[in-house]
Structures are given as structure tokens and as C-alpha cells.
Amino acid sequence: MERASRRKFLMRAGLAGCSLAASPLITPMSFASIPSDNRLVVIILRGAMDGLDVVQPYGDRAFSSLRKSLKFGDAGGAFDLDGYFSMHKGLASLIPLWRKGQLGFAHAVSTPYRNKRSHFDGQDLLEAGTGMNAPIGAQRDGWLNRMLQTMTGVEAQTAFAIGQEEMLITTGAAPVSNWSPDTHLNLTLQARRMLELVYHDDPLFGGSLDEAIMLAQALNPAAMLDDGETGDSKMMQTQMIASLKGGGHKRVAEFAANRLRAETRVATFSINGWDTHGGQRRALTRALGQLADTILILERDLGDIWGKTTVLAMTEFGRTVRENGTQGTDHGTGGAMVMAGGALKGGQVYGKWPGLGEGDLFQDRDLMPTGDVRAYAARAMQGLFGVDKSVLEQTVFPNLEIGTTPEIIL
């Protein structure tokens, strides 16, 4: 089923909205093997992570007045990185990696996406890896798959699959296996029955509804628990609820590490929960905790292979420089990228800082992008797998100019 059709179905079923764009129905995880001993992990942070909160430029004089409640302050628990930037306490468990040079950031970066600030469009462009010269959604393959297409000896790995939708970033001609982690769709029995009546004879959405219900039953049995069920059936559902409750991001990281210890060389998956329009302090801390857990599990479970691994965590766009009236931030432009791994030249904040003063902001509201997030991904592929610069700029990322983007791999 095409992405657009799935979105229309969800919207018509009353399940779509801003939060859905940041938390898709299916969050697949993809793997591929290439003739190299290095590993690349790409994490899509769905919902638009606020890079200004994750890596706060406290050395910029304008910052304090723009983020009155969200700035760390003296008691905020932040970790000073370099005398100008400080790191959010949600990533405090990664401080040892920073000190070892295995954690880094790229600031004031973005894709070429501008102005409309739509989660769906921003994520599509991020995963497609293209510029704005083609209509958003027209690209049917993703940049990781295009990289694999340029290599020999690529074979799909055995994996588990729930659902049929793939991440655009790995969609394409090159063989890639997919495994979908635990995903929850809250659908009550009353809503299920209503949808079944409405879409029973719909030739376009009937099949999609059946798939959605199947996924809800398998992945969120609590939402399907019928009060009339008793005995073994109800006990089995209760046990399934307990097994699926919480910790999904940890299981994803453990599964990824398991595959990367074998023949897999590239893994990609998503972490949701970055859309912080209100109550950002609490929501962002929780999301960063999941990202930190993921990175530390990869480090722990990969063992010696961690020294050959680079993790890139990127998001569709940043958030507004000024906080809103609900102690949150709205959709913006420039943001930050989180990088980790034993193969990374870490211990630094990459990028050219644009400033936050008068006249420095994009459209007087957002952090001005000075770097292309695709260029850092290109540098990672160049350093890890030896992909030629011209191939990266013309095939993997059409119309990209890597330019002076620094090398990030040891």
C-alpha cells in the first residue's frame, strides 16, 4: 500500500493528526549486509527534535531571553560540552561516551525542506534524501537503499516482519529485510466495530482496515480485550499485555545489536515522541532517555564491534527558537543531529553556528540552517564504506554538495 493511501485511510478512520505523523502505524526496522566490516545505524527521530534544547548554546547572548523557561540555568542539570554549548540532562548517561570521543553533535543542520513544516513531508524528504527540485513524495526510494545499489555483494538478511509497510529510507531496488518492532494502536472494541461497518464494502480501504485491526490485536491486545472473554483466552491476552508493556525501544536496540554482530552492516529504525508543542521539559527528557538507552545498549551488546560502528540520529526539522505559551516549541527549521559510536570523531559539536541575535534567524522564528544533514550522512558513508564522493553527491543524495562538511569518521 502506498504511503499516501495509508495516510488517507488513517485520517478517514479518525486516527490521524499531528501526533500520528510523529508516530506512524508501522515503525519498521531494516537491515542490509554489505562487503565491509564497519557498521552504520541510522535512527529517525520522528516528531522534530528540538536541537536547541538538546544542545543549548548558552554562550549565545540572545539565547536566555528567547528560552526563558526552557533554558537550563545553573540548576538545570546540564553538562557543559565546550564552554559554549551544554548537553541536556536527558543524555547524562552518555557523558562517558563524550569523554571518550564517542559522542558528538552537528548543530544548525537541516534537510532542504523549508516553510511548510509538515511532519509527513519533512520525514519523506529526510528519508528520500533529495533536494526540493522534485515534488515531495515523488521519490520512491530512500538514500540508504541507493547507497546499497552502488555496492556489490549486497544480500538481504533473514528477519521478522509484522505488517507490510517499509521505511522509505531503505525502500528501493537493493534487497533489504524488514522487522517491525512492537507498535501500539489504541483501538477500542466499539471503534473496531464501527470501522468494520463503515469500511466493510469499501474496495480501497477494506483490506487496510483488516490489516490495521490485525496489528491492533497482535500489538495492543489491551485495546481489543472483550469483557465477555473468560478463561484461557483472557489469561493469554493479559499475559501478552504484560509482555508488550514498555521497553520497546530497548528490544529494538537489542535486536539491532544481535543482527549487527552477525552479517548485518546497516540498520535503521525510528524513535518517536519528539513533537513537543507543550510541556517540553518532561516530554523531551523522556524521549532523550530512550535515545540514550538505545545508544548504550548498542555499545554494550556490540562489544568490540562498537569500535567499527557509527550511529546517526536525525530528525525531520528543528523547532522554533522562541518557546510558546505552553512551555513548548512549535515546528521550525534548523536543528541538531546526534552522533555516536567507536568509529566516530566525537567529543565535539560540529557545524557553523549562525547566532540567535536580531537578523540571524530564519524568517525571524527559526534557527538558521548552515549545514545539510545529508552531508554528514554522506561523510559517514564515505568514511565507513569508502563510497566515492561523486556517487554520494549525484546518486545517493542527488544535487548534494558536501562542500566543507568535516570528516566525522576516524
If one compares 56 and 195, the residue with the highest pLDDT of the two is 56
Which three three-digit cell numbers place residue 247?
521497553
| Residue keyed to cell 538538546 | 54
Q: Which range has the worst mean pLDDT, 109-113, 160-164, 194-198, 401-405?
A: 160-164
- The domain that holds 87 is classified in CATH as 3.40.720
Residue 315 domain boundaries: 3-184+249-396
Tell me whether residue 220 is in a domain: no
Tell me whether residue 218 is in a domain: no
Tell me whether residue 72 is in a domain: yes
Tell me whether residue 48 is in a domain: yes
- Residue pair 331/319 in contact (Cβ under 8 Å)? The answer is yes
Output the pLDDT for position 160.
26
Read off the pLDDT of residues 31-48 as tens digits, 9 standing for 90 and up. Answer: 777 778 999 999 999 999
Classify the phi-psi angles of 229: left when phi > 0, otherwise alpha if psi is within -120 to 50, otherwise beta. beta
Tell me whether residue 40 is in a domain: yes
Tell me whether residue 384 is in a domain: yes
Can you tell me the mean pLDDT for 340-352?
98
Output the pLDDT for position 155.
65
- At 168, which helix (H) or strand (E)? none
Tell me whether residue 59 is in a domain: yes
Distance CA 106, CA 117 (A): 21
Indicate the DSSP class of residue 47.
Answer: T
- Highest mean pLDDT pick, 129-138, 163-172, 314-323: 314-323
- Residue partners of 215: CB distance under 8 A and separation at least 6: 25, 26, 162, 163, 183, 185
Q: pTM to 2 decimals?
A: 0.79
- At 79, which helix (H) or strand (E)? strand 79-80
Q: Rounded to the nearest 5°, which phi and psi values hold at 150?
A: -85, 0
Read off the pLDDT of residues 260-302 as tens digits, 9 standing for 90 and up. Answer: 998 889 999 888 899 999 999 899 999 999 999 999 999 999 9
Output the pLDDT for position 337.
98
Q: Could you tell me the sign of the dihedral formed by the alpha carbons of 122, 89, 285, 97, in that order? A: positive
Tell me whether residue 143 is in a domain: yes
Read off the pLDDT of residues 198-250 as tens digits, 9 standing for 90 and up. Answer: 655 655 555 545 545 544 443 444 444 444 444 443 443 343 333 334 577 88
**Angle of helix 280-302 relative to helix 248-260, nearest 10 degrees?**
30
Q: How many CB atoms lie within 10 A of CB 230?
A: 9
Number of domains present in the structure of the chain = 1
Going from the C-alpha of 234 to that of each of 180, 230, 308, the distances in angstroms are 25, 5, 47
Longest dimension (CA), the chain: 68
